[in-house]
Structure 1
Amino acid sequence: MKRQPTIEIPPMPHIGKLFRDYVEENRIYQSVLAKILGKTQSVLLRYRFRKSLQCYLLWELSVGLKHNFFMDLAAQLPDTYSTSAPDVTIPYKERIAALEKELETVTRERDLLKEVIVQKG
Protein backbone atom coordinates (compact mmCIF):
# COMPACT_ATOMS: atom_id res chain seq x y z
CA MET A 1 0.00 0.00 0.00
CA LYS A 2 1.30 3.45 -0.98
CA ARG A 3 2.07 5.76 1.95
CA GLN A 4 0.54 9.20 1.95
CA PRO A 5 3.09 12.02 2.18
CA THR A 6 3.13 13.85 5.52
CA ILE A 7 3.26 17.20 3.75
CA GLU A 8 1.08 18.44 0.94
CA ILE A 9 3.16 18.55 -2.23
CA PRO A 10 1.93 21.13 -4.74
CA PRO A 11 1.56 19.97 -8.33
CA MET A 12 4.74 20.22 -10.37
CA PRO A 13 4.70 22.91 -13.08
CA HIS A 14 4.51 21.64 -16.66
CA ILE A 15 8.06 22.30 -17.90
CA GLY A 16 7.15 21.88 -21.55
CA LYS A 17 4.43 24.50 -21.20
CA LEU A 18 6.88 26.83 -19.48
CA PHE A 19 9.27 26.42 -22.42
CA ARG A 20 6.47 26.63 -25.02
CA ASP A 21 5.01 29.80 -23.48
CA TYR A 22 8.40 31.51 -23.41
CA VAL A 23 9.12 30.66 -27.04
CA GLU A 24 5.66 31.83 -28.16
CA GLU A 25 5.67 35.05 -26.09
CA ASN A 26 9.09 35.99 -27.44
CA ARG A 27 8.28 34.90 -31.01
CA ILE A 28 11.32 32.69 -31.32
CA TYR A 29 11.37 30.66 -34.50
CA GLN A 30 11.73 26.94 -33.97
CA SER A 31 14.29 26.74 -36.80
CA VAL A 32 16.48 29.43 -35.22
CA LEU A 33 16.30 27.82 -31.81
CA ALA A 34 17.12 24.40 -33.28
CA LYS A 35 20.20 25.87 -34.95
CA ILE A 36 21.34 27.63 -31.74
CA LEU A 37 20.97 24.46 -29.66
CA GLY A 38 22.20 22.04 -32.31
CA LYS A 39 18.99 20.03 -32.12
CA THR A 40 16.33 19.14 -34.64
CA GLN A 41 13.04 20.97 -34.74
CA SER A 42 11.21 17.72 -34.00
CA VAL A 43 13.23 17.26 -30.78
CA LEU A 44 12.35 20.80 -29.68
CA LEU A 45 8.71 20.16 -30.54
CA ARG A 46 8.73 17.12 -28.24
CA TYR A 47 10.21 19.23 -25.42
CA ARG A 48 7.27 21.61 -25.67
CA PHE A 49 4.79 18.87 -24.74
CA ARG A 50 6.74 17.00 -22.07
CA LYS A 51 5.59 17.48 -18.50
CA SER A 52 9.17 17.28 -17.24
CA LEU A 53 12.67 17.64 -18.64
CA GLN A 54 15.99 16.50 -17.25
CA CYS A 55 18.01 19.26 -15.64
CA TYR A 56 20.70 19.22 -18.30
CA LEU A 57 18.08 19.78 -21.02
CA LEU A 58 16.56 22.67 -19.08
CA TRP A 59 20.08 24.00 -18.59
CA GLU A 60 20.75 23.82 -22.35
CA LEU A 61 17.47 25.62 -23.09
CA SER A 62 18.30 28.31 -20.50
CA VAL A 63 21.76 28.88 -21.95
CA GLY A 64 20.56 28.77 -25.56
CA LEU A 65 17.70 31.19 -24.97
CA LYS A 66 19.57 33.26 -22.34
CA HIS A 67 16.57 32.82 -20.06
CA ASN A 68 16.65 31.37 -16.54
CA PHE A 69 13.97 28.66 -16.53
CA PHE A 70 15.25 27.47 -13.15
CA MET A 71 14.38 30.86 -11.66
CA ASP A 72 10.92 30.60 -13.23
CA LEU A 73 10.48 27.29 -11.46
CA ALA A 74 11.89 28.57 -8.18
CA ALA A 75 9.49 31.51 -8.26
CA GLN A 76 6.61 29.04 -8.05
CA LEU A 77 7.82 27.69 -4.70
CA PRO A 78 6.71 29.36 -1.46
CA ASP A 79 8.89 32.22 -0.20
CA THR A 80 9.31 30.36 3.06
CA TYR A 81 11.49 27.68 1.45
CA SER A 82 15.20 28.00 2.12
CA THR A 83 17.88 28.42 -0.53
CA SER A 84 21.65 28.54 -0.69
CA ALA A 85 21.54 31.13 -3.48
CA PRO A 86 22.61 34.67 -2.61
CA ASP A 87 19.75 37.13 -2.12
CA VAL A 88 19.84 39.21 -5.32
CA THR A 89 17.12 41.49 -3.96
CA ILE A 90 19.35 43.03 -1.26
CA PRO A 91 20.45 46.03 -3.40
CA TYR A 92 16.82 46.66 -4.33
CA LYS A 93 15.69 46.45 -0.72
CA GLU A 94 18.39 48.94 0.28
CA ARG A 95 17.35 51.28 -2.53
CA ILE A 96 13.69 51.00 -1.54
CA ALA A 97 14.57 51.82 2.08
CA ALA A 98 16.55 54.89 0.97
CA LEU A 99 13.69 56.07 -1.26
CA GLU A 100 11.16 55.56 1.54
CA LYS A 101 13.33 57.68 3.84
CA GLU A 102 13.63 60.37 1.16
CA LEU A 103 9.86 60.31 0.61
CA GLU A 104 9.31 60.76 4.34
CA THR A 105 11.63 63.81 4.33
CA VAL A 106 9.98 65.34 1.27
CA THR A 107 6.52 64.75 2.78
CA ARG A 108 7.56 66.55 6.00
CA GLU A 109 8.97 69.45 3.98
CA ARG A 110 5.77 69.67 1.93
CA ASP A 111 3.62 69.71 5.07
CA LEU A 112 5.84 72.42 6.58
CA LEU A 113 5.52 74.54 3.43
CA LYS A 114 1.75 74.12 3.53
CA GLU A 115 1.72 75.38 7.12
CA VAL A 116 3.86 78.42 6.19
CA ILE A 117 1.60 79.26 3.24
CA VAL A 118 -1.55 78.94 5.37
CA GLN A 119 -0.04 81.18 8.10
CA LYS A 120 0.95 83.89 5.58
CA GLY A 121 -2.38 83.66 3.73
Structure 2
Amino acid sequence: MKKQKKLQPPHIGNMLKKFYVARKVNKAGLARDILKDKSTVQTYETRASLPCHVLWDISVAVEHNFFADLASQLPQTYTTNIPEDTTQAQRIAQLEAENNILVGQLELLKGVMGK
Protein backbone atom coordinates (compact mmCIF):
# COMPACT_ATOMS: atom_id res chain seq x y z
CA MET A 1 0.00 0.00 0.00
CA LYS A 2 1.45 3.35 -1.04
CA LYS A 3 1.63 6.16 1.46
CA GLN A 4 -0.43 9.10 0.25
CA LYS A 5 -1.30 12.42 1.71
CA LYS A 6 -4.10 12.18 4.23
CA LEU A 7 -7.51 12.91 2.74
CA GLN A 8 -9.87 14.88 4.94
CA PRO A 9 -13.08 12.88 5.46
CA PRO A 10 -16.32 14.66 4.66
CA HIS A 11 -18.59 15.81 7.50
CA ILE A 12 -21.54 13.42 7.21
CA GLY A 13 -23.87 15.65 9.23
CA ASN A 14 -23.27 18.60 6.90
CA MET A 15 -23.86 16.36 3.90
CA LEU A 16 -27.18 15.21 5.36
CA LYS A 17 -28.21 18.74 6.33
CA LYS A 18 -27.57 20.05 2.79
CA PHE A 19 -29.56 17.15 1.34
CA TYR A 20 -32.49 17.72 3.73
CA VAL A 21 -32.67 21.40 2.81
CA ALA A 22 -32.31 20.82 -0.95
CA ARG A 23 -34.94 18.07 -1.00
CA LYS A 24 -37.16 19.58 1.71
CA VAL A 25 -37.01 16.39 3.75
CA ASN A 26 -39.52 16.20 6.60
CA LYS A 27 -37.34 15.14 9.52
CA ALA A 28 -40.28 13.95 11.59
CA GLY A 29 -41.34 11.69 8.71
CA LEU A 30 -37.76 10.51 8.23
CA ALA A 31 -37.51 9.72 11.94
CA ARG A 32 -40.66 7.60 11.70
CA ASP A 33 -39.32 5.81 8.64
CA ILE A 34 -36.06 4.83 10.33
CA LEU A 35 -37.71 4.16 13.70
CA LYS A 36 -35.84 6.92 15.56
CA ASP A 37 -36.85 10.03 17.51
CA LYS A 38 -36.89 13.34 15.64
CA SER A 39 -34.24 14.63 18.05
CA THR A 40 -31.99 11.72 17.08
CA VAL A 41 -32.35 12.57 13.39
CA GLN A 42 -31.51 16.20 14.18
CA THR A 43 -28.46 15.07 16.15
CA TYR A 44 -27.18 13.22 13.10
CA GLU A 45 -26.77 16.59 11.36
CA THR A 46 -24.18 17.66 13.93
CA ARG A 47 -22.09 14.49 13.76
CA ALA A 48 -18.94 14.33 11.66
CA SER A 49 -19.41 10.58 11.20
CA LEU A 50 -22.18 8.02 11.51
CA PRO A 51 -22.26 4.23 11.62
CA CYS A 52 -22.79 2.69 8.19
CA HIS A 53 -26.09 1.10 9.22
CA VAL A 54 -27.51 4.53 10.15
CA LEU A 55 -26.45 6.06 6.84
CA TRP A 56 -27.86 2.98 5.10
CA ASP A 57 -31.24 3.39 6.83
CA ILE A 58 -31.39 7.08 5.91
CA SER A 59 -30.41 6.28 2.30
CA VAL A 60 -33.20 3.72 2.03
CA ALA A 61 -35.75 6.03 3.66
CA VAL A 62 -35.05 9.02 1.38
CA GLU A 63 -34.12 6.88 -1.66
CA HIS A 64 -30.73 8.54 -2.10
CA ASN A 65 -27.32 6.85 -2.31
CA PHE A 66 -25.17 8.72 0.21
CA PHE A 67 -22.49 6.07 -0.16
CA ALA A 68 -22.06 7.03 -3.83
CA ASP A 69 -21.83 10.68 -2.75
CA LEU A 70 -19.03 9.73 -0.37
CA ALA A 71 -17.31 7.54 -2.95
CA SER A 72 -17.32 10.38 -5.48
CA GLN A 73 -15.12 12.38 -3.10
CA LEU A 74 -12.33 9.79 -3.25
CA PRO A 75 -9.67 9.94 -5.98
CA GLN A 76 -10.62 8.23 -9.26
CA THR A 77 -7.45 6.14 -8.97
CA TYR A 78 -8.86 4.18 -6.01
CA THR A 79 -10.10 0.70 -6.82
CA THR A 80 -13.59 -0.68 -6.26
CA ASN A 81 -15.36 -4.02 -6.56
CA ILE A 82 -18.20 -2.52 -8.59
CA PRO A 83 -18.75 -4.54 -11.77
CA GLU A 84 -18.11 -2.51 -14.89
CA ASP A 85 -21.23 -1.31 -16.68
CA THR A 86 -20.91 -2.83 -20.15
CA THR A 87 -24.27 -1.76 -21.57
CA GLN A 88 -22.76 1.27 -23.29
CA ALA A 89 -19.88 -0.76 -24.72
CA GLN A 90 -22.34 -3.40 -25.97
CA ARG A 91 -24.47 -0.73 -27.67
CA ILE A 92 -21.40 0.76 -29.35
CA ALA A 93 -20.35 -2.68 -30.62
CA GLN A 94 -23.87 -3.29 -31.95
CA LEU A 95 -23.89 0.05 -33.77
CA GLU A 96 -20.43 -0.57 -35.22
CA ALA A 97 -21.54 -3.95 -36.57
CA GLU A 98 -24.65 -2.35 -38.06
CA ASN A 99 -22.50 0.39 -39.58
CA ASN A 100 -20.21 -2.20 -41.21
CA ILE A 101 -23.23 -3.93 -42.75
CA LEU A 102 -24.55 -0.63 -44.10
CA VAL A 103 -21.15 0.31 -45.55
CA GLY A 104 -21.06 -3.05 -47.34
CA GLN A 105 -24.57 -2.55 -48.67
CA LEU A 106 -23.65 0.95 -49.87
CA GLU A 107 -20.60 -0.39 -51.72
CA LEU A 108 -22.76 -3.09 -53.31
CA LEU A 109 -25.34 -0.51 -54.38
CA LYS A 110 -22.64 1.71 -55.85
CA GLY A 111 -21.27 -1.29 -57.78
CA VAL A 112 -24.71 -2.17 -59.14
CA MET A 113 -25.35 1.41 -60.22
CA GLY A 114 -21.93 1.54 -61.89
CA LYS A 115 -20.46 4.41 -59.92
- How high is the TM-score relative to the length of structure 1? 0.69
Structure 1 distance, partners of 2:31, 2:80, is 33
Is 1:13 the equivalent of 2:36?
no
Cα distance, 1:92–1:15 mapped onto 2, change above 3 Å: farther
Please give the alpha-carbon distance, in whole angstroms, between the structure 2 residues aligned to 1:7 and 1:90. Answer: 31
**1:53 aligned to which of 37, 44, 50:** 50
Looking at structure 2, the residues matched to 18 and 26 of structure 1 have their Cα atoms a distance apart, in angstroms, of: 12
Deviation for aligned residue 1:34: 1.1
**Equivalent position amino acid for 1:77 in 2:** L
Match of residue 23 from structure 1: 20
* Matching residue of 2:65: 68
Question: Which secondary structure does the structure 2 equivalent of 1:49 belong to?
Answer: coil
**Given the alignment of the two structures, is residue 37 of structure 1 paired with residue 30 of structure 2, yes or no?**
no
Gaps of 5+ in 1: 1-5, 102-121
Structure 2 residue ranges without an equivalent (≥5)? 97-115
Q: Aligned Cα RMSD in Å?
A: 2.6
C-alpha contact (below 8 Å) 2:30/2:58 kept by paired residues? no
For residues 53 and 90 of structure 1, what CA distance do their matches in structure 2 show? Answer: 33
Whole-angstrom CA distance in 2 between matches of 1:76 and 1:90: 24
Q: Judging changes above 3 Å, is the alpha-carbon distance between structure 1 residues 25 and 93 closer, same or farther for their aligned structure 2 residues?
A: farther
Residue matched to 1:81: 78
Shift of 1:9: 1.4
